[in-house]
Amino acid sequence: MFPTSKPDPSLLRGMTQRRLGRRDALRLGGLSAMGAFLAACGVQGKGKPGASAAPDAVAKFWNGKVKNGKLDFANWPLYMDPKKPELKKFTEKTGITVKYDEVIQEMGPWFAKVQPQLSAKQSIGYDLMVITNGMQFGQFRDAGFLAPLDHSKLPNYAANAAKSYAQSAYDPGNVFSVPWASGITGIAYDESKTKRPITKLADLWDPAFKGKVGMFSDLQELGNFGLLAAGLDPAKSAEADWKKAAAKLQEQKDAGIVRNYYDQGYVDALGKGEVWITQAWSGDIFQKNVSDGTNFKFVIPEEGGTIWTDNMAIPITAANPVDAITLMDFFYEVENAATLAEYINYVCPVPAAQATMLKHAAAQTGEDKEYLESVANSPLVFPGEADYAKLHYYVGFNTAEEQQDFSKVFDPIVLG
Amino acid sequence: MNRVKRTLAPYLLVLPGGLWLLVFFVVPMVTMLSLSLQEGDIVNGYVFTGHWQTYVEAISDYQTQMIRSLVYGAITSLVLIVLAFPVAYWIAFYGGRKKTTYLFLILLPFFVSFVLRTISWRMLLTDDGVLLHPLKEAGLLPSGFQLLGTPTAVIAGLVYNFLPFMVLPIYVALERIDPRVVEAARDLYASPATAFRKVIFPLALPGVFAGVLMTFVPASSDYVNSELLGGTSTTMIGQVIQSKFLHTSDYPTASALAFALMAVLLIGVFSYARALGTEDVMKVAAR
């Protein structure tokens, strides 16, 4: 549930319904005809909030939905082997053809792009999308943009998924989503430049690396590290803590330590030597080292790193939801989860895939064998208890207003 | 009948373009104006409340970026005048029959996408790239020297990307100069320098003004160059607006900033045109 901080429930209800919204707007503003015209251009409310869909919502959505033999899948770049072996196998097995587009680059812009269609109850052209458990996940969920999942159609998920995912804070019970992969935000560095091993967040504040430190431009990622560096737990933080973290980050910026605030471009900046030490996503560094022969290190800092999850979800307006949920479940077959993780090197939501990966490794020789073994034994793909202990979850927001406040606190740092 | 036709003709002619502007310019503008006066959040929706304080907050929060953008835009235009004038002059007076070819060459980079061109500048200016590496090797620059992330890099990118918009109007103005006017100046014992100063340059001024209009406005609101070439303190107002729209879904602040920027630019441009004579500027700009 997404409690709202608006004082007057009737007003809120008014705001979330189109006609009343206009009337309330007029009442609120006491406005002229021009005002009414302007008000008509309002961005509509996205309907009722609610993290847990009622059981009849599942039935209501899935009733009468049938397999159509095709589906459109929106994912992030570099999140599947470009030859798409898993999708080929899926088509062979089920007869469903998949159009796979790597159209999601950042959560904010993705939400901004599909929000108007979803608000208007129109198809966004995709039946399945992979979205991160950040701010926008909450927005998708609370706006009623995600189809409630029919778990009777997800037998492999029930059998093979790591149990911890069912207790996630962003989607308890996996009502709307199942994980695609998780990743860890930590520190990547080039030891040939730093001349010493990096172990802690404080190293990102070390004046010795002035102008050679990369931070993320994503406000949640940046805020998390500020909080952790200030000794605060992001998941339990409140506005006063955010301000402390922001002050810490501002200090780092003012001292000229930060080279820039990066999106996905940090990998490139690290590769070019623009930054020596940077906030980083686990799988990227692994992939960069494998594909470019670099030897960058990735560490989960002593003070802790964060773990996030990218999730498969079905937009409420999907034209082919049955095909989409079939594909969701397909990725929970141990074999498919294993081959996917072997390529992407992000945390695999299927623990049994580790044994399968080692089996694959045993069937190979030489470099391939070494590679597969390194993936199977990588703490970044199958983190152990000790690793999990160091990982924190994202800041949880109770209200949309809190989310805006969070943005307001950290925005001035990135937008210097 | 004929008379009716004649009176209606101009309106009919303006109709397609007018409709286009109405649907794709006026309507979105009004929507944006409305958005800037709304309150709420992305989940519960934004509602029009006439909350004009958003403007005050947005401007006071982001005045640094706003002023920075105007300064970058102004520097860009100045550098462009210095760079573009000689080029346009040479093409207009010494281009001969190959004028069109030269103009085409000026426009050639435009066949590559804007973003791609800017990204290639990233590679050019990077710490150990083709430009800085040899200079650092030769000991001309300290090894820690960097261009990327500095205002210089952002302005250099802006200058590069908008060069043709300055060259073309100046070229058009110079092209129009009757060579006999210059000859007359020489006949009256003006030195080449005096002829340039007293005859050619004043006649080319409308082109320069038009060039400034066509570069200052887009350069001030650009966000690609500062995004790709800038650093932690080169954020331009366009980036702020983009981030508010796409990253934090704060539509009212984004729209308010967009309108404030537009107002500042319009006021600037109008006072500029007024001070320097609207007629010629607009005429050349219309070419």
Nearest to A39 among B34, B232, B239 (CB): B34
Q: Residue B58: its pLDDT value, please?
A: 92
Residue partners of A90: CB distance under 8 A and separation at least 6: A96, A98, A327, A330
Q: Nearest CA to CA, how far is B126 from chain A (Å)?
A: 7
pLDDT tens for residues A298-330?
Answer: 999 999 899 899 999 999 999 999 999 999 999
Express each pLDDT in A5-27 by its tens digit: 333 333 333 333 333 333 333 33
Look at strands A297-299 and A177-189 and give their pairing: antiparallel
Residue A55 reports pLDDT greater than 70: no
Q: Which of B124, B126, B244, B249 to mutate to test the interface with A (most CBs of A within 10 A)?
A: B249
Q: Give residue B235's Cα distance to chain centre.
A: 17
Residues 6+ apart with CB under 8 A from B77: B166, B211, B212, B215, B216, B219
Q: φ, ψ for residue A299 (rounded to 5)?
A: -130, 150
List, for residues B83-135, the tens digit of each pLDDT value: 999 999 999 999 888 999 999 999 998 898 888 999 899 888 888 888 888 88
Q: Which residues of A touch B50 (CB under 8 A)?
A: 29, 31, 35
B173-178, Cβ contacts within 8 angstroms, sequence gap of 24 or more: B173/B203, B173/B204, B173/B205, B173/B206, B173/B207, B173/B208, B173/B210, B173/B284, B174/B88, B174/B89, B174/B92, B174/B93, B174/B200, B174/B203, B174/B204, B174/B207, B175/B92, B176/B203, B177/B92, B177/B203, B177/B204
Q: How confident is the model at residue A236 (pLDDT cuts 50, 70, 90)?
A: confident
Q: What is the pLDDT of residues B205-253, one digit of tens each?
A: 889 989 998 999 999 999 999 989 998 889 999 999 998 888 888 889 9
In this predicted structure, what is the pLDDT of residue B283? 57
B5 located within any domain: no
Taking only residues 68 to 87 of chain B, the set having a beta carbon closer than 8 angstroms to any beta carbon of chain A reads none
> In this structure, what token pair is assigned to residue A79?
């999140």
Say what the pLDDT of residue B67 is: 95
CA distance A10 to chain B (A): 13
Percent of chain B with pLDDT over 70: 95
Of the candidate ranges B37-46, B213-222, B245-254, B271-280, the one whose mean pLDDT is the lowest: B271-280
- Domains and their CATH numbers in chain A: 1-45 (no CATH), 55-183+308-351 (3.40.190.10), 184-306+391-414 (3.40.190.10)
In A, residues 117-136, which contact B (CB 8 Å cutoff)? none
Whole-structure pTM value: 0.79
Comparing CB atoms, the residue among B43, B232, B240 nearest residue A258 is B232
What value does the mean pLDDT take over residues A340-361? 93
| pLDDT at position A41 over 70 | no
Residue A311 is predicted with a pLDDT of 96
Mean pLDDT of B195-209: 89
The whole-number pLDDT of residue A54 equals: 65
CA distance readout (Å), B181 to A168, A191, A388, B85, B283: 80, 69, 82, 19, 21
Task: Say yes or no for a CB contact (<8 Å) between A219 and B248.
Answer: yes
Which residues 87-106 of A are in CB contact (within 8 Å) with B? 106
Q: Which residue has the tokens 């038009």?
A: B210
Residue B39 resides in a domain: no
Q: Report the number of distinct structural domains present in chain B.
A: 1
Mean pLDDT computed over every residue of chain B: 88
- The ipTM (two decimal places) reads 0.80
A225-234, B119-128, B278-287: least confidently modelled range: B278-287
Q: Which tens digit of pLDDT belongs to each residue from A359-413?
A: 999 998 888 898 899 889 988 889 888 888 888 888 878 777 888 889 889 988 9
Q: What is the pLDDT of residue B34?
A: 92
Do B48 and A39 count as a contact with CB atoms less than 8 A apart? yes
Q: Mean pLDDT, to the nearest integer, of A186-202?
A: 94
pLDDT of residue A51: 46
Give all strands (DSSP E) within chain B, no chain letters: 38-41, 45-48
Question: Is residue B163 situated within a structural domain?
Answer: yes
State the average pLDDT for chain A. 85
Q: Measured between CB atoms, does B242 come within 8 Å of chain A?
A: no
- B47–A35: do the CB atoms touch at under 8 Å? no
Fill in the amino acid letter for A295: N
B144 CB within 8 Å of a chain A CB:
yes
- Domain presence at residue B40: no
Task: Report how far residue A151's alpha carbon sits from residue A54's, in angstroms, rounded to the nearest whole number.
Answer: 13
CATH of the domain at B156: 1.10.3720.10
pLDDT of A67 higher than 90: yes
Task: Return the residue matching tokens 């690793």.
Answer: A387
Distance from CA of B71 to the nearest CA of A (A): 16
3-class secondary-structure state, position A159: helix
Structure confidence at residue A394 (pLDDT)? 83
- Chain B residue with CA closest to A13: the answer is B44
Residue B224: give the domain boundaries. 53-286
For an interface test with A, which of B26, B247, B255 has the most A Cβ atoms less than 10 Å from its Cβ?
Answer: B247
Is residue B164 within 8 Å of B106, Cβ to Cβ?
Answer: yes
Q: Which residues of A touch B54 (CB under 8 A)?
A: none
> At residue A333, does pLDDT exceed 90?
yes
The model's confidence at residue A287, banded by pLDDT at 50, 70 and 90, is confident
Contacts of A40 in chain B (CB under 8 A): 34
Instruction: Give contacts of A104 with chain B, Cβ < 8 Å.
Output: none
| A172–chain B Cβ distance below 8 A for any pair | no
Residue A96 CB contacts under 8 Å (≥ 6 apart), including other chains: A67, A69, A70, A71, A90, A323, A326, A327
pLDDT reported for residue B10: 84
CB contact under 8 A, A416 and B235: yes
User: How many CB atoms lie under 10 A from the CB of residue A370?
Assistant: 12
Closest approach of B130 to chain A, Cα-based (Å) = 12
Query: What is the enclosing helix (H) or strand (E) of A262?
Result: strand A258-262
Please report residues of B whose CB lies closer than 8 A to that of A28: 47, 49
B191: contact with A, CB 8 A cutoff: no
Of A57-61, B165-169, B275-279, the poorest mean pLDDT is in: B275-279
- Contact status of A143 with chain B (Cβ, < 8 Å): yes
Helix, strand, coil abundance in chain B, percent, nearest 5: 80, 5, 20
Higher pLDDT, B248 or B178: B178
User: Measured between CB atoms, does B33 come within 8 Å of chain A?
Assistant: yes
Q: Measured between CB atoms, does A414 come within 8 Å of chain B?
A: yes
d(CA A75, CA A259): 30
Give CA separation, B120 vs A22, A61, A83, A92, A264, in Å. 49, 48, 28, 42, 17
Contacts of A7 (CB under 8 A, 6+ apart): none
Whether A49 has its CB under 8 Å from any CB of chain B: the answer is yes
Q: What is the pLDDT at residue A401?
A: 80
Give the percent of chain A with pLDDT over 70. 87
Cβ of A38 within 8 Å of Cβ of B231? The answer is no
Whether the pLDDT of residue A118 is over 60: the answer is yes
Q: What pLDDT band is residue A48 in, cutting at 50, 70 and 90?
A: very low
Inspect the interface and report whether the beta carbons of A260 and B231 lie closer than 8 Å. Answer: yes
Indicate whether B167 belongs to any domain.
yes
- Which among A204, A411, A414 is the top mutation candidate for probing chain B, defined by the most B β-carbons within 10 Å of its own β-carbon? A411
Nearest-10 crossing angle of helices B237-246, B53-94: 130
